[in-house]
Amino acid sequence: MAESAKKVAQQTEERLEQVAENVRKRFAKLTEGRLGDTINEGRFADSVDHGVDQGRRESRDRRAR
């Protein structure tokens, strides 16, 4: 009986490892090419700076009124 329990436990562990690997692969596939990756690569560096400057300008315009 103990041997069959060990065998079942080993099979279960192997299946769980495979499930975990599949989840990691699917997560990587879902998140690849996302906006976060683009930002981390620095593709929007100028746009972000421009947006901050525009926000400051709009804030100054509101205070002047």
pLDDT for residue 47:
52
**For residue 10, what pLDDT band results from cuts at 50, 70 and 90?**
very high
Single-letter amino acid, residue 50: H
**3-class DSSP assignment, residue 1:** coil
Average pLDDT over every residue of 50-64: 68
* 3-state SS, residue 43: coil
Q: Which amino acid is at 57?
A: R
Q: Span 10-21, mean pLDDT?
A: 97
Handedness of CA 17, 19, 25, 31 (dihedral sign): negative
Give yes or no for residue 61 having a pLDDT over 90: no
pLDDT of residue 15: 97
Q: How confident is the model at residue 45 (pLDDT cuts 50, 70, 90)?
A: low
pLDDT value at position 51? 58
